[in-house]
Amino acid sequence: MPVAIEEGDQVALEDEIDEIFRREVKSLPAYAKAQAASGSGIAPPVNEMNELLMGLVVASQRSFHLLATRLQSIANA
């Protein structure tokens, strides 16, 4: 049975996921360095890239958990 998601709920979920990525990735010092170096042709050090990658992994995992929780609450409604 299809479950309808209201537009307000979708926007709220998008905002929450954006906040997760902002907290986990954009706050990293390596993110600022990578942004500053973009377009320069100089690759950031591997350890900084690993830090960014782990931030993306953590943010993705938390986002999927949030989505699963939201879908479960809609299905139980």
Separation between Cα atoms, residue 48 and residue 51, nearest integer Å: 5
Separation between Cα atoms, residue 20 and residue 59, nearest integer Å: 6
Question: pTM for this one?
Answer: 0.74
Q: What confidence score (pLDDT) does residue 36 get?
A: 82
pLDDT tier at 5 (50, 70, 90 boundaries)? low
Q: Round the CA-based radius of gyration of the chain to a whole number and report it.
A: 17
Separation between Cα atoms, residue 39 and residue 32, nearest integer Å: 14
Cβ within 8 Å of residue 28, ≥6 positions away:
51, 52, 55
Express each pLDDT in 23-72 by its tens digit: 999 888 888 888 888 788 887 788 888 999 999 999 999 999 999 998 89
Domain boundaries, the chain: 7-36+43-76
